[in-house]
Chain A
């Protein structure tokens, strides 16, 4: 412990000025007025006094500055040598003492210029500042603070060194302002008298209140607090962020005197930090998006590369001289080359020898024109040639001139071969068709002519048999008459057969104009024609609309319908026979299918083919009359139209005949002519 404590100014302080005063006021005049030996003595004495003053001064200085510093140094050295001590041991108190001493020293140094006390010049009168009393730190260092109780109004320029720093003193218990620097007062918006009524915590933001209070309380125990960041509200109502450094100050009796606070406005800094955080987060998001996009881009690139390389066509690019810039895998596989064999080399390489010479010129021409489509031959690496179809376009560069050519080629060898085969097949087919149709025509004509010519002898047979009976009947005996009867019957049957043949051959010749045939109308006419039959059989012919509109020979179609409906009514033993005509579903829009259904005797599936044959019947003429030509005629008519006819039937369950004929095109709107005597 030292004894560098004083309650007031030290006597040594006055000594030096006293001596100096004495020297100048008393002795120097004596020195100048007295005669030489006395004067000299006086001068010497005053000199002596001056020297004494200097010494006193230096002693004062030493006491004020040097000794405490020396003491400090000693303490530090002692501390360095001592092992660690528990917290409340004398040594830790010593440490606190030291820290305070150092701070005080610092303050003292910094105070000096404002006090006007030049440290280096000892002989300045009026050097001591009457304000420099008051608080001492525990180590006796001058705190250079005015004493408590000094005027509350004054601008404490002593402590608050630059006007830009915001410093204050707060009461340790109430946290009310005791002092505040002008800068701080400006910042907060209150003057010191108002501040002294306020507790610091009053201006703290409610969310930070608890933290502020707790931390400040802690600082009382710790002795200091650094970097406390709070939000406060200024007098103007503005929200600001501050960073506070707090130091505890002690009175000479070791009690806490006040909290010394240094405040910095970090609003902007905080805002800037927040902005930065935001921006960083945004940047990270953008980064993430960029990464995703990049990934997708890579994917896309891969897919396109795959598309290009493995396209079902040969893609390639040539430079302005016809050399390969690039080509896809398909081209390499098709031709059997490696990529390095083609890239950089001219397309000429693929062209068969004889045509190579013309290549350069043709290619230049193409580059001029900008596009080309030709069939050509290329040579595979095996030497084999294939037919190719090549299409190319030039791509213009920035200068507007062609910069390269983009092309696609297809191996059409297979296609050519198929085309040739198809052509040949078609020709053969056409020829066969021609043959067929010619034969058919011949057949029909033959049939017609034959049956036509047979009619005359038949007629003679029949008529003259009749005449024979009429004229000579009485001269014939029973035998003779029977003979004639058989003759006549046979002739009649023959005539029917021939008639059937005739009708058949006529049916095969679709000689009428092809028009749209409204099936519903046709059925109406048939109903009228068969009216007698219908009435006598108490039958019903009904239509299930809508019936399709067909495309064909109206007369023939009518004949077809008549035959079918007649058959339906004929081969029918029901009490209430009916025939129904309706449309059937059809998937191909160029065809129409309709049916003729009856509740007749039905047809055994074994004979579904036989019934369509000419003159083939399933019954005797005694059972049902007819020649068996009706359905054959239907078949002929249907075939002449390119259609089809078939039956679905079971014995005893009626029959349904299906007929498929060309459908009239939807756009024809012909006025429906009346069906004349076409049948």
Chain B
């Protein structure tokens, strides 16, 4: 029954972000996209949602996380998210250029839900976002969306 598919994209590349945006739009995927280019900012954003007086009414349904971030790198962000008892409930999909096994292993160890290498061609992006929505929004069940209070 959740029609609003809120995606948090933590990605420093504007062009990559634009591509995702376009893919979502052209893919006719109902969505709401928040883009935060910095890891620390993203964490702050997520943490704020935990407070009772959160300005944003809802937390993301899905986090798309790039590893190659300035400052706090993606894996660190992932670790912090996954160590918070509330935040860890949000599925985190690593979406990054690296295909290095170390990165894959490390992130899964840190609790990543999925690791997806960034598609090379734009059309594949369209497929990807559709798949993501189908899987995470339509197929999988998620804990109910309500103010993130334990």
Contact = CB atoms under 8 A, between A and B. Distances in A.
Contact of A506 (B19, B22, B100, B125): B100
B114 interface: no
Contact of A463 (B15, B97, B102): B15
B95 to A, nearest CB: 12
A459 B22 CA distance: 14
Interface stretch (B27-35, B116-124, B130-138): B116-124
A452 B97 contact: yes
Nearest to A458: B120
Interface string B48-89: 000000000000000000001000000000000000000000
B15 A460 contact: yes
Contacts of A462: 120-122
A464 B122 CA distance: 9
A455 B121 CA distance: 12
A455 B97 CA distance: 7
B113 interface: no
B120 A448 contact: no
A495 interface: yes
Contacts of A511: 101-102
A261 B61 CA distance: 154
A462 B120 CA distance: 9
B16 interface: yes
Contacts of B102: 511
B22 A456 contact: no
Contacts, number: 41
B120 A459 contact: yes
B41 interface: no
Contacts of B97: 452, 455-456, 459
B101 A512 contact: yes
Interface string B87-121: 00000000001111110000000000000001011
A389 to B, nearest CB: 52
B127 to A, nearest CB: 14
A29 B124 CA distance: 196
A452 B15 contact: no
A126 B52 CA distance: 188
A456 B16 contact: yes
B73 to A, nearest CB: 13
A71 B117 CA distance: 162
Best-buried of A448, A463, A499, A555 by chain B (most CB within 10 Å)? A463
Interface of B: 13, 15-16, 19, 22, 68, 97-102, 118, 120-122, 125
23 contacts: A452-B97, A455-B118, A456-B15, A456-B16, A456-B68, A456-B97, A459-B15, A459-B19, A459-B120, A460-B13, A460-B16, A463-B15, A463-B19, A463-B121, A463-B122, A463-B125, A466-B122, A467-B22, A495-B120, A499-B120, A511-B101, A511-B102, A555-B101
